[in-house]
Amino acid sequence: MSKNIESVATDIVDCAIKVHKELGPGLLESAYQHCIAFELRKRDRKVLTELRLPIIYGGQRIDAGYRIDMLIDDLVIIENKTVEAILPIHMAQLLTYLKLHRSNIGFLLNWNVKLMKHGINRVVHNLSSPSPYPSKK
């Protein structure tokens, strides 16, 4: 992983812990999303929310309804949840976003935990396999 990605990842973890420490569990997913976005922007991070993620089919970009909760510095995806437990479907959702966006790293943040360290799930996606999606560069 590049130094820049690791720096973004560190800021995400730090900000998630800070927000959760102040708010605790029990709020709506959107509340946590707004607050962590605020904290990341205070650290001069570029934060996009509810970003449309089209698929490429037959050489065409098709909006199939995919939305990334958060994209940080065009590098790291955050998927926010407020659930009793992270299920395989939640992990599959983030992996799909990583694949479609051609990103290496994402975080699945479950805010519905007593201690945020138990709600932070870092996911690394291997981009070495060929993809029909054009590179972001």
Tens of pLDDT, residue by residue over 65-82, are 999 999 999 999 999 999
pLDDT digit string, tens, across residues 10-61: 999 999 999 999 999 999 999 999 999 999 999 999 999 999 999 989 999 9
Q: Which residue has the higher pLDDT, 129 or 72?
A: 72
- Only one residue has tokens 């138990």, namely 118
Q: Would you say the pTM of this structure is higher than 0.85?
A: yes
Q: Report the alpha-carbon distance of residue 90 to residue 137 in Å, rounded.
A: 28
pLDDT value for 41: 99
Scored b (16 or more CB within 10 A) or e, 108-123 reads bbbbbbeebeebbbeb
